[in-house]
Each structure stands twice: as structure tokens, then as C-alpha cells.
Amino acid sequence: MTLAELTAFASRNPVLSLTFVGLTVAIIVNEVVRLTSGIRQIGPAELTALVNRDNALVIDLRAPADFAKGHIAGARNVQMAQFDPENKALAPAKALPIVLVCYVGQTAGLAARRLRKAGFTNVSVLEGGIRAWQAADLPLVKGR
């Protein structure tokens, strides 16, 4: 495809072209924010290593019903509405690696930013959330 053909296509389809440009810009901005946030994205294998090697605290931010259907062994269920990084009970956890988990990773990213603002330095997010854990065929524990 030549530049002339691309320009002709864009002029015949302005809404489609603007949508494409908008989505491209949104993806780039999202990636820049993610890379500069200081919050590490980890995969299921790295989460397993962190739990086994460094006794990482896994916080699952999903609804209690979803948590009961299946969660990572040892994870603690905390609702995002009740998630308070300033809570005194979390103070001892500042020394531990903390990994936040949600359904696909979006909510966990928001919670991670709140933890970073509260002074937690070793904060990670399970990239892809619990769905990535399941896709890696790793076990889930049922119940509370």
C-alpha cells in the first residue's frame, strides 16, 4: 500500500481513520503510564517464586463470591471499596513484597498506585489477573 492509497482511504473513511488514530494514541499513553508508574507487572510463574522465596503477601481484590469460587492459595480477600493503604494492620506488610490480584489486572493497578502513594515500595500486580493464573493452568483454592 502506498502513501497515496492510504491518504485516499483516510479521506474516504474519516470516522474509521480518526478511531484508529485515537485508539493508537490511547494504547501508547496507557503503556507510557504503565512503564513510568514504578509498579511491576509480574506473571504467574514470578508470583509463585515470590510467594515461595520471599513470603509475598497476595491480596485478591475480587468480590467475595468470586474469591470463594477460586483464589490463589494464601491470598487475602480485600474489597476495593474497603482497601485502605493507610490501615495500621498493613504497616507490618511494608517490609514484604505485595502482589495485587483482580480479575484481569485493571483494579489491581489502581490499588497498587494507592499503595505506592502510602509508602509501600515492593508492590507488584499480577499481569492479566486471575485469568492469567488460570491460563497458566495453576491451581486455585475454593472457599474462604
Name residues whose C-beta falls within 8 Å of residue 39's C-beta, 6 or more positions apart in sequence.
109, 112, 113, 116, 123, 124, 125
Which residue has cell 502513594? 117
Question: Residue 125: inside a domain, yes or no?
Answer: yes
Distance in angstroms (rounded) separating the CA atoms of residues 102 and 66: 10
Query: Is position 142 within any domain?
Result: no
pTM across the whole model: 0.74
**Is residue 21 a part of any domain in this protein?**
yes
Active site residue 142: no
Say if 28 falls within a structural domain: yes
Residues 115 and 56 in one domain: yes
Please report, for the domain that includes residue 108, its CATH number: 3.40.250.10
Assess contact for 120 and 92: CB atoms under 8 A. no
Catalytic member of 56, 61, 102, 123 = 102
- 47 and 88 in a single domain? The answer is yes
105 inside domain = yes
The domain tally of the chain equals 2
Q: Is 119 left (phi over 0), alpha (psi -120 to 50) or beta?
A: left
What does the alpha-carbon distance between residue 129 and residue 113 come to, in Å, rounded to a whole number?
A: 16
**pLDDT for position 93:** 78
| 67 and 9 co-located in one domain | no
Q: Which three cell numbers stand for residue 13?
A: 473513511
Residue type, 37: S
Mean pLDDT, each 10-residue run in order, the chain (144 residues): 88 91 87 71 92 91 93 89 74 84 86 86 90 93 83
Asked if the structure places residue 27 within a domain, the reply is yes
Domain residue limits at 124: 39-135
Say yes or no: 22 and 71 in one domain.
no
Considering the domain boundaries, does residue 19 fall inside one? yes
pLDDT of 35: 67
